[in-house]
Amino acid sequence: MLNRQGRPSAPQAHGVADPAAGMGDQAARLQGDASRAGADAGSHPTFTGNKALAQIEPLIFEIGRYDTTGVDLDEPDDFKPRLGGLERKEAIGLPGLSEPETMRHYVRLSQMNYGIDTGLFPLGSCTMKHNARLNERMARLPGFSDVHPLQPVSTVQGALELMNELGRYLLTLTNMTAVALSPKAGAHGELCGMMAIKAAIEAKGEGKTRNVVLVPDSAHGTNPATAALIGFVVKPVPARDDGYVYVEDVKKLLGPDVAAIMLTNPNTCGLFEPQVAEIAKAIHDAGAYFYCDGANFNAIVGKAKPGDLGVDAMHINLHKTFSTPHGGGGPGSGPVVLSERLSPFAPVPFVRAGKEGFELVEHETDAAEKPFGRMTAFHGQMGMYVRALSYMLSHGSDGMKQASEDAVLNANYIRAGLSDLMSLPFGNKPCMHEVLFDDAWLKDTGVTTLDIAKAMIDEGYHPMTMYFPLVVHGAMLIEPTESESKASLDLFIATLRDLAMAATTGNDKERFTGAPYHAPRRRLDETRAARSPVLKWTPPAPVAEAAE
Ligand SMILES: Cc1ncc(COP(=O)(O)O)c(C=O)c1O
């Protein structure tokens, strides 16, 4: 018996005695898998579980065979093992597939993944913005994509110039003094900025006394984690009912033990902190530093400069603000900009324009300043640098400003389109680039934030960010980005209105509690998936012997 790809399906070496029996087993397993959408998704179930172009794809171990490879070269005649008897004696059990089978497997998997190129991706705090193909094209130019970090500096002058230029743009957009490009994500940038702050405090001889970092309740989890990781004691700044951080609350916590505040602006509730300048002044007056989490910089590029607000260190998620989407669209890049007070402590390596061209300052001893060390083995994410600069140059200063304005406009358009049905925890006031709803509107409906998210999957949308920030009950954080058209936003709003009305009228509760119905997988037990993840494939029990 052949499987749907026309070959015996069960790898003998996995102990399945009869390939045909194995196939029957696999087919039965596929068809009996209640978590598959095909299992109960209509009155015309298919044998394979596929629904036309919506294909079921087993694990590569389940479709592979040991006697097949995509490319197989004969051993040379004069081959002599040179491993002194240490060579492998048995097959290691990797699944073998022909080239078309391999292509199909990965293409099918990719089609099960929702991406920004598939549709609107409203994940708040993650900025899934369109990455223009131009930026992708530039990043793939061989002079950028094929360079090696250990190449002689004279052969990578163009790449270094690009890094230097990107740094210059970041400093101009933020009005800061120094930039460290190497951190590889937002959280890594936080670590870099906080290590510069720590180095500055130690240089002042206050390393032992200033050990507290203030972090508002609404902060991203990476903020307290970063501070704690490098030995600071984290003190929360309590949340207020309106979502803002107030200078009087900060002042109450200030003392000679405070090293810094880590404040996100715009904050994770999608609001611009109105007292940010006053907070910066209070922090500086107390001899501490202001770390700004700049992950949401995409809301204010060209509108406000962190340097003008009193920021000492801020990371910029290049992957959120300047092109590539966050997360699966990775990799990330989290350059850190530093104020004049902190610039001597920026880490190595950095690019410097020398007499003979651009130089890489690689060692602390080669820097005139006092770098705290290095964050990465090499120089950071070259591909991200290229995408970011390409984004900046293709937009220009007016275009970047407009992107921020459009991101804010789009979030407010969604707020206005849904505020009569869904509840806004801080009142119906303008937001920045993302709009935050809570679950008060779902009270007594028996439908939860999670149910709404799952029903959105059936509607063809990736869910919004759920249950973050933690200061809001049942949070639903929606960030449409500037990339979406009015038509796309209108359809999204209409879909959410339809879901909201169905949830509140209670007419079709199953639409929520059983969702998703149409995804390749039905709803999983998320607690079990998180606590007891099955990360290893185990060959099925030998069918023939089990039957005896
Ligand atoms: C407010 C905030 N801070 C920090 C981070 C961490 O950034 P990364 O995921 O690149 O480490 C994020 C990520 O989305 C964020 O939203």
**Å from CA of 98 to ligand 1 middle:** 40
What is the mean pLDDT of the segment spanning 296-316? 98
pLDDT of 42 > 70? The answer is no
Type and span of the H or E element at 225: helix 222-229
CA atoms lying within 13 Å on the CB side of residue 149: 11
Q: How far is CA 368 from CA 82, 183, 343, 356, 363, in A?
A: 50, 21, 11, 18, 11
**Å from CA of 495 to ligand 1 middle:** 28
Q: Tokens 């999983």 appear where?
A: 524
Q: How confident is the model at residue 368 (pLDDT cuts 50, 70, 90)?
A: confident
pLDDT of 20 > 70? The answer is no
What is the mean pLDDT of the segment spanning 387-406? 98
Residue type, position 216, single letter: P
Give me the pLDDT at residue 148, please.
95
Type and span of the H or E element at 250: helix 247-253
Give me the pLDDT at residue 19, please.
32
Least confident range of 90-99, 133-142, 242-251: 90-99
Mutation to probe ligand 1, out of 125, 268, 333, 434 (largest number of atoms < 8 A from CB): 125
More reliable by pLDDT, 33 or 174? 174
Q: For the chain, what percentages of helix, strand and coil (3-state, to nearest 5) are there?
A: 40, 10, 50
Least confident range of 107-111, 395-399, 446-450, 477-481: 107-111
What is the mean pLDDT of the segment spanning 276-281? 98
Q: How many CB atoms lie within 10 A of CB 293?
A: 28
**Percent of the chain residues past pLDDT 90, beyond the cut:** 74
Rounded Cα gap, residues 156 and 122, in angstroms: 39
**Percent of the chain residues past pLDDT 70, beyond the cut:** 91
Type and span of the H or E element at 476: strand 476-478
Least confident range of 369-373, 387-391, 394-398, 459-463: 369-373
pLDDT of 546 > 80? The answer is no
More reliable by pLDDT, 288 or 535? 288
Q: Identify the sign of the CA torsion 174, 178, 181, 185.
A: negative
Give me the pLDDT at residue 6, please.
31
**Å from CA of 230 to ligand 1 middle:** 18
Give me the pLDDT at residue 351, please.
95
Burial profile 313-332: b = 16 or more Cβ within 10 angstroms, e = fewer: bbbbbbbbbbbbbbbebeeb
Give me the pLDDT at residue 281, please.
98
In the numeric block, which tokens belong to residue 126?
């993650």
pLDDT of 87 > 90? The answer is no
Atom of ligand 1 nearest to the CA of 190: 4
What backbone phi and psi angles, to 5 degrees, belong to 507? -70, -30
**Å from CA of 216 to ligand 1 middle:** 15
What is the mean pLDDT of the segment spanning 465-481? 97
Q: Whose CA is nearest to atom 15 of ligand 1?
A: 295
**Taking all residues of the chain, what is their mean pLDDT, rounded to a whole number?**
89
Q: Are strands 435-437 and 465-466 parallel, antiparallel or unpaired?
A: unpaired
**Å from CA of 220 to ligand 1 middle:** 7
Contact assessment for residue 380 and residue 360, using Cβ atoms and an 8 Å cutoff: no
Cα angle for residues 53, 485, 386 (degrees, 5° grid): 85
In the numeric block, which tokens belong to residue 408?
């804010």
Least confident range of 10-24, 419-433, 449-463, 496-510: 10-24
**Å from CA of 274 to ligand 1 middle:** 22
Q: Whose CA is nearest to atom 16 of ligand 1?
A: 125
Q: How far is CA 401 from CA 322, 397, 407, 443, in A?
A: 12, 6, 10, 39
Give me the pLDDT at residue 537, please.
86
Q: How confident is the model at residue 35 (pLDDT cuts 50, 70, 90)?
A: low
Give me the pLDDT at residue 545, please.
53
Give me the pLDDT at residue 113, please.
87
**Å from CA of 462 to ligand 1 middle:** 19
Rounded Cα gap, residues 34 and 381, in angstroms: 42
pLDDT in tens, 237-267: 998 999 999 999 999 999 999 999 999 999 9
HEC-encoded secondary structure of 175-220: CCCEEECCCCCHHHHHHHHHHHHHHHHHHCCCCCCCCEEEEECCCC
What is the mean pLDDT of the segment spanning 347-354? 94
pLDDT of 463 > 60? The answer is yes
Q: Identify the sign of the CA torsion 109, 110, 116, 118.
A: negative
Give the burial class of 362: count Cβ atoms within 10 A of its Cβ; 0-12 exposed, 13-18 middle, 19 or more buried: middle
pLDDT of 1 > 50? The answer is no
Q: Whose CA is nearest to atom 10 of ligand 1?
A: 186
Type and span of the H or E element at 528: helix 526-531
What is the mean pLDDT of the segment spanning 176-186? 97
- Ligand 1 shell residues, CB under 6 Å: 125-126, 185-187, 220, 222, 264, 268, 293, 295-296, 317, 326, 332, 334
Mutation to probe ligand 1, out of 123, 129, 220 (largest number of atoms < 8 A from CB): 220
Rounded Cα gap, residues 371 and 203, in angstroms: 11
Q: Edge to edge, what strands does the sheet with 476-478 contain?
A: 435-437, 476-478, 465-466
Rounded Cα gap, residues 389 and 162, in angstroms: 8
Give me the pLDDT at residue 31, please.
47
More reliable by pLDDT, 178 or 330? 178
Beta-strand (E) ranges in 265-383? 289-293, 313-315, 336-338, 350-354, 357-361
Type and span of the H or E element at 235: strand 233-237
- Domains by residue range for the chain, with CATH: 158-392 (3.40.640.10), 398-531 (3.90.1150.10)
pLDDT of 547 > 50? The answer is no
Cα angle for residues 223, 529, 519 (degrees, 5° grid): 100
pLDDT in tens, 53-63: 888 899 999 89
Give me the pLDDT at residue 17, please.
33
Mutation to probe ligand 1, out of 126, 218, 222, 263 (largest number of atoms < 8 A from CB): 222
Q: What is the pTM of this model?
A: 0.88
Q: How far is CA 319 from CA 53, 169, 215, 332, 424, in A?
A: 32, 16, 24, 5, 28
